[in-house]
Amino acid sequence: MFDIRYKSHHDVKNVIEKMMKRKIVTPFTFNRVLKEKPLSSDGGIYVHTPYCDKICSFCNMNRKQIDNDLNDYTDYLCREFKKYGEKKYIKEKKISAIFFGGGTPTIYKAHQLEKILSSLRENFNITEDCEFTFETTLHNLTWEKLEIMEKYGVNRISIGIQTFSDRGRKILNRTYTKDFITEKIREIRKRFKGLICIDIIYNYPDQTDEEIIDDAETACELGVDSISFYSLMIQDGSQISKDRAENKVVFKYNLERDKELHHKFLEITLANGYSVLEHTKITNGKDEYRYIRNVNSFSDLIPIGVGAGGRIRDYELFHLNKLISFYAFDNELKMNVKKLSGILQYKKVELDKIKEFSGNSYENIFKLIKKYEEEGLVTITGNIMEYTIDGIFWGNSITASLVTQIINDNK
């Protein structure tokens, strides 16, 4: 079927970047765009906090363990809000999705958090119904911080649970036990009016059927509004990769076991009223996850903070540090390929939209889709292609194959 199972949309993006040369542009070229009128008023903001007070064993994200009080970084973010908020392109934007990621964005002290959120409000035109998300761990989310966040419009929190298993939590270097975290989530539900979303990792070393079943049943029992669930990805630079190299942790990836755990988790949650939002996310219907819709549509996403990446029109930008940012331009073909990869993340996709982004390659693309239908990965009903459960498991590999076909057709 496939030689490789791609586990996330980041894997697909990497395939595109390897096959299509990146066109680097100067800050001057990019800044000219910020002086222009935007093509549409809708937009999003991503704010990155590259600090944690405890590093998860699987993490290789842009973060480091905190070693100061973050006053300097707080002031830096406020300056960046003001800088971008003064640009004509940004002034005319109505911000409908904000996402604070990391690292751990709730690592700030309460007064720092208030300063950051107050500055954000002052410098951007934020819609009344804006989806406003904060990633958080449970151990540094105090009730005082939660009140401040809600005061400034935060209406969605994403909690990095990863697993409820006490054994699994030790492997992943997570804080606290199942009993503590389930009680904390119940208390958050009483105090917080917004959506509560969690992350779950499956297929960590020696994970049992009982552990994956308990993760699914506990999440359902707690009534979380959405779950992002990922197969463990052991990346270079993470602690678990180092432990594996030194034989401190034994983990041999088994594709069939990966699929078994994926299906068990999905079958239980779907039977309890959840539905698939995209390949690695399920929702109870309340969580629309507007931020990921922005990312998947490659709409304007203003990145702020060290390690933040985003997009303005046809330009991608990434802030390497406080002084250096990279800018790249995407031509029409690359934009279409990326937009196709975005819509293919969802469980149901209109064939007309696939055709729109495939251009002259649609005949070849449709042949591949029919092949996947024969293999039981998708169904086609009228204008709709829909992934089966097997198709969801292989979804990012399917997407990678389709975008690869288009890129090869246009060489």
Among the listed residues 270, 272, 271, the one whose alpha carbon sits nearest the alpha carbon of residue 281:
270
Task: Quick: pLDDT tens for 367-385.
Answer: 999 999 999 999 999 999 9
How does pLDDT run across 328-354, given as a tens digit for each residue? 999 999 999 999 999 999 999 999 999
Q: Classify residue 193 by its DSSP letter.
A: -
Residue 180 covered by a domain: yes
User: CA 116 to CA 82: how far, in whole Å?
Assistant: 11
Rounded to the nearest 5 degrees, what angle is found at the Cα of 391, between the Cα atoms of 358 and 59? 95
Report the C-alpha gap between 75 and 367 in whole angstroms: 54
Closest listed residue to residue 29, CA positions, set 331, 307, 389, 314: 314
- For residue 58, the model assigns a pLDDT of 42
Which of 297, 315, 347 marks a domain boundary? 297
* Structural domain containing residue 202: 40-297
Residue whose C-alpha is closest to residue 207's, from 231, 235, 229: 231
Closest Cα to residue 370, out of 408, 344, 402? 402
Question: Does 153 share its domain with 210?
Answer: yes
Q: Is residue 361 part of a domain?
A: yes
| pLDDT at 60 exceeding the cut of 50 | no
Same domain, 153 and 123: yes
Domain count, the chain: 2
**172-178: average pLDDT:** 90
Quick one: 109 and 219 in the same domain?
yes
Predicted confidence (pLDDT) at residue 249 exceeds the cutoff of 80:
no
Give the integer Cα–Cα distance in Å for 16 and 10: 10
CATH number at residue 348: 1.10.10
Task: Give bridge partners of residue 276 from the DSSP assignment.
Answer: 282
What's the whole-number mean pLDDT along residues 167-190?
A: 94
pLDDT at 238 over 70: no
